């Protein structure tokens, strides 16, 4: 049984990823920041299905707190599957964007990636097997009005993932990016009505969190061992 950590695991996409990885037989750490009750609910559902999970809570932007939490997890062995899914939106057109809006989004998506991934890398290397999947966005591939901060954070994540893939390839560790388009979650609810989705997405529907989870689970499997350094879009032919 491999041990997996999914940051932002209590949200719509994150919860679907947690359920899917647990169904594959992994022990899943469902991460939340302040919403530990939601993470606990995801864990309860996973356990009710006969699979293995537990909830963990820490702020990915707090480097010291993250390191302490990860040290505790590593006492039980290496984390061999890491899904960096934590991220936030704080949208505004760039001329009206505050420094705080810029910093908050960069801090969670990009600095959070470093704070979580770096401490887990060496223990993963020692096992000679690992999967790192970073969840990005179509905004990083094509841009999006009002999301310069979000696009910048996720675009930097693409570049970091490609470089890290080169560093870890000889150690049996893959690093890939999954870039969803419009996915039907609480975060996207209200942002796009049905008519807008039909107009924007050639498949004329929003994606489901479970569809993203299937892609992540494949990249986290032995079957995807030769796929690394890739940005894989899942967006209904949006771009």
Could you identify the residue written with the tokens 């480097």? Answer: 63
193 pLDDT tier (thresholds 50, 70, 90):
confident
Residue 172, judged by CB atoms within 10 A of its CB (0-12, 13-18, 19+), counts as middle
**Within-domain flag for 96:** yes
Q: Is the pLDDT of residue 188 over 60?
A: no
* C-alpha distances out from residue 131 to 86, 125, 126, 233, 238, Å: 17, 11, 13, 18, 27
86 pLDDT tier (thresholds 50, 70, 90):
very high
102 pLDDT tier (thresholds 50, 70, 90):
very high
Measure the CA–CA gap between 117 and 21, rounded to whole angstroms.
18
Instruction: Please compute the mean of the pLDDT values over residues 36-42 and round it to a whole number.
Output: 97
What CATH number has the domain bearing residue 167? Answer: 3.40.50.720
Q: Which residues form the domain of 225?
A: 3-234
> Which residues, in sequence order, are CB contacts of 221 under 8 Å at separation 6+?
24, 131
Cα dihedral 32, 12, 162, 236 in deg (nearest 10):
-170
Is residue 92 within 8 A of residue 43, CB to CB? The reply is no
- CA triple 100-105-108, angle to 5 deg: 120
**Within-domain flag for 98:** yes
Q: Which residue has the higher pLDDT, 35 or 230?
A: 230
**Within-domain flag for 160:** yes
191 pLDDT tier (thresholds 50, 70, 90):
low
Nearest alpha carbon to residue 175 among 125, 140, 236, 210: 125
Is residue 74 within 8 A of residue 87, CB to CB? The reply is no
190 pLDDT tier (thresholds 50, 70, 90):
low
- Would the pTM count as exceeding 0.85? yes
- The model's pLDDT over 196-236, given as tens digits with 9 standing for 90+, comes to 889 889 899 999 999 999 999 999 999 999 999 999 999 99
Q: Which of 83-92, 180-189, 200-209 has the lowest mean pLDDT?
A: 180-189
**Within-domain flag for 239:** no
Instruction: Please compute the mean of the pLDDT values over residues 83-110 and round it to a whole number.
Output: 98
pLDDT number for residue 101: 98
Determine what percent of the chain is predicted with pLDDT higher than 70.
97
Give the catalytic positions in this structure.
150
Q: What is the largest CA-CA distance in the chain?
A: 51
Which helix or strand (DSSP H or E) is residue 235 part of? none
Measure the CA–CA gap between 11 and 200, rounded to whole angstroms.
24
**Within-domain flag for 53:** yes
Residues 210-225 as b/e (b if ≥16 CB within 10 A, e otherwise) read bbbbebbbbbbeeebe
Helix count and strand count (H, E) for the chain: 9, 7
**Within-domain flag for 65:** yes
Q: Is the pLDDT of residue 43 over 90?
A: yes
Based on the structure, what is the number of domains in the chain? 1
Instruction: Please compute the mean of the pLDDT values over residues 74-102 and round it to a whole number.
Output: 98
């Amino acid at each position: 049984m491999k041990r997996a950590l999914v940051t932002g695991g209590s949200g719509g996409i994150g919860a679907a990823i947690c359920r899917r990885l647990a169904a594959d037989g992994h022990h899943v750490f469902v991460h939340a920041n302040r919403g530990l009750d939601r993470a606990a609910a995801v864990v309860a559902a996973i356990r009710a299905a006969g699979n293995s999970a537990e909830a963990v809570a820490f702020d990915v932007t707090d480097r010291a707190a993250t390191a302490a939490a990860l040290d505790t997890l590593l006492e039980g062995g290496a984390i061999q599957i890491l899904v960096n899914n934590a991220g936030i939106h704080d949208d505004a057109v760039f001329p009206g964007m505050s420094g705080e809006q810029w910093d908050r989004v960069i801090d969670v998506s990009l600095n959070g990636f470093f704070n979580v991934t770096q401490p887990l890398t060496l223990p993963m290397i020692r096992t000679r097997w690992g999967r790192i999947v970073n969840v990005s966005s179509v905004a990083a591939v094509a841009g999006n009005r009002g999301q310069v901060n979000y696009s910048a954070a996720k675009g930097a994540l693409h570049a970091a993932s490609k470089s890290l893939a080169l560093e870890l390839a000889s150690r049996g560790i893959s690093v890939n990016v999954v870039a969803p388009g419009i996915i039907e979650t609480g975060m996207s609810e209200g942002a796009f009505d049905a008519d807008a989705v039909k107009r924007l997405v050639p498949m004329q529907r929003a994606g489901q969190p479970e569809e993203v989870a299937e892609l992540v689970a494949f990249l986290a499997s032995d079957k995807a061992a030769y796929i690394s350094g890739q940005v894989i879009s899942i967006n209904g032919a949006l771009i």
